């Protein structure tokens, strides 16, 4: 009974952008949140992405220093 065992973290990662855009269906949102409840790693990923978005939104008003841009880019850890 272990066919198509999708990595729950990979699935959660897929839902992150639509989650933050608030375009997930209710069922998907509940699924993502229940995973976030038990997965520290994904919770941190979501939180980081969310804070990044807030920052980017604020930074749209003023130019971001190149050095800071590089630091932010370095923080984005590829999953694979």
Q: Which residues bind Zn ion (CB under 5 A)?
A: 9, 12, 39, 42
CB 42 within 8 A of CB 36: yes
Q: How far is the CB of 12 from Zn ion (least distance, A)?
A: 5
- CA 11/CA 32 separation, integer angstroms: 9
Q: Give whichever of 9 and 72 is closer to Zn ion, judged by the CB atom.
A: 9
Q: How far is the CB of 76 from Zn ion (least distance, A)?
A: 17
Q: Give whichever of 8 and 59 is closer to Zn ion, judged by the CB atom.
A: 8
CB atoms closer than 10 angstroms to residue 36 = 20
Q: How far is the CB of 9 from Zn ion (least distance, A)?
A: 3
Q: Give whichever of 8 and 72 is closer to Zn ion, judged by the CB atom.
A: 8
Taking each helix axis as running N to C, give the angle between helix 8-20 and helix 26-38, from 0 to 180 degrees, rounded to the nearest 10.
120
């Amino acid at each position: 009974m272990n066919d198509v065992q999708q990595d729950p973290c990979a699935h959660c990662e897929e839902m992150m952008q639509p989650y933050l855009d608030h375009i997930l269906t209710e069922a998907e949102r509940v699924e993502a949140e229940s995973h976030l409840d038990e997965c520290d790693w994904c919770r941190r990923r979501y939180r980081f992405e969310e804070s990044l978005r807030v920052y980017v939104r604020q930074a749209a008003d003023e130019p971001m220093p190149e050095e800071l841009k590089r630091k932010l880019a370095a923080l984005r850890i590829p999953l694979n």
